[in-house]
Amino acid sequence: MPISLTWDSREKSILMKWDGFFSFGWAEGKRVKKLWKIPIPYSPGVYGNKKIHPPRIRWAYLKEFLSFLREWKLKRVEGSLSFPDPMVNGILYGWLNAIKSEEESKRIDLTINFLGENGCSGEATVSPKVLFYYLVRWVPFLLRERRRSSKGGE
């Protein structure tokens, strides 16, 4: 049962799902959180008068995040791109057709258009084992940053 991440820029949604057990993300500008397909009314972010800020980006965080991204497997990507300059559209159209292979065209369908239409949707999966492995690695980083921010920073 892999965990899947789906996105669609035309519907303005990003959702993470795990076989109907849980799903969360954003759809049409609103947070979506469900457990066994039941909506959860939970809104983190503000405790009292103090707002929680995400930790500063450090090299260790970036390195961990990039190694986590390598673990994801693309199932499908569909998209259409258009730039204001027709020459750029023509060059990208030629490059895309030159590098496209038959295997990739089944799961990756990117097109360049000259009409000004932009949009992208797709799905990527990762195993729960990998996800929980990285979560366990990230918890000490987040706790350490939490302690630093409560002491007044570095």
Alpha carbons 51 and 65: distance in angstroms, whole number = 24
Q: What is the pLDDT of residue 52?
A: 58
In a domain, 21, yes or no: no
Alpha carbons 110 and 92: distance in angstroms, whole number = 11
In a domain, 144, yes or no: yes
- Of the pLDDT bands very low, low, confident and very high (cuts 50, 70, 90), residue 45 is low
**Which among 46, 39, 44 is positioned nearest to 24, based on CA atoms?**
39
Alpha carbons 142 and 53: distance in angstroms, whole number = 12
Maximum separation of any 2 CA atoms in the chain, in Å: 57
Q: Which two tokens stand for residue 91?
A: 């060059």
Enclosing domain of residue 132 = 53-151
Q: What is the pTM of this model?
A: 0.66
In this structure, is the dihedral angle defined by the CA atoms of residues 82, 86, 91 and 93, taken in order, positive or negative? Answer: positive
Domain count, the chain: 1
In a domain, 24, yes or no: no
Following CA atoms 9, 13, 18, 23 in sequence, which dihedral angle do they give, to the nearest 10 degrees?
Answer: 170
In a domain, 15, yes or no: no
In a domain, 2, yes or no: no
Mean pLDDT across the chain, nearest whole number? 80
| Percent of the chain predicted with pLDDT > 90 | 17
End-to-end CA distance of the chain: 42
Q: What would the mean pLDDT of 138-144 be, rounded to a whole number?
A: 79
In a domain, 129, yes or no: yes
In a domain, 134, yes or no: yes
pLDDT in tens, 80-136: 999 999 999 999 988 888 877 666 667 888 888 888 889 999 999 999 899 889 888
Alpha carbons 49 and 123: distance in angstroms, whole number = 38
Q: Which residue has the higher pLDDT, 55 or 75?
A: 75
In a domain, 107, yes or no: yes
Q: What would the mean pLDDT of 66-74 be, rounded to a whole number?
A: 90
* Model confidence at 51: pLDDT above 70: no
pLDDT in tens, 117-129: 899 999 999 998 9
Between the CA of residue 83 and those of 13, 89, 90, 96, what are the distances in Å? Answer: 23, 6, 10, 14
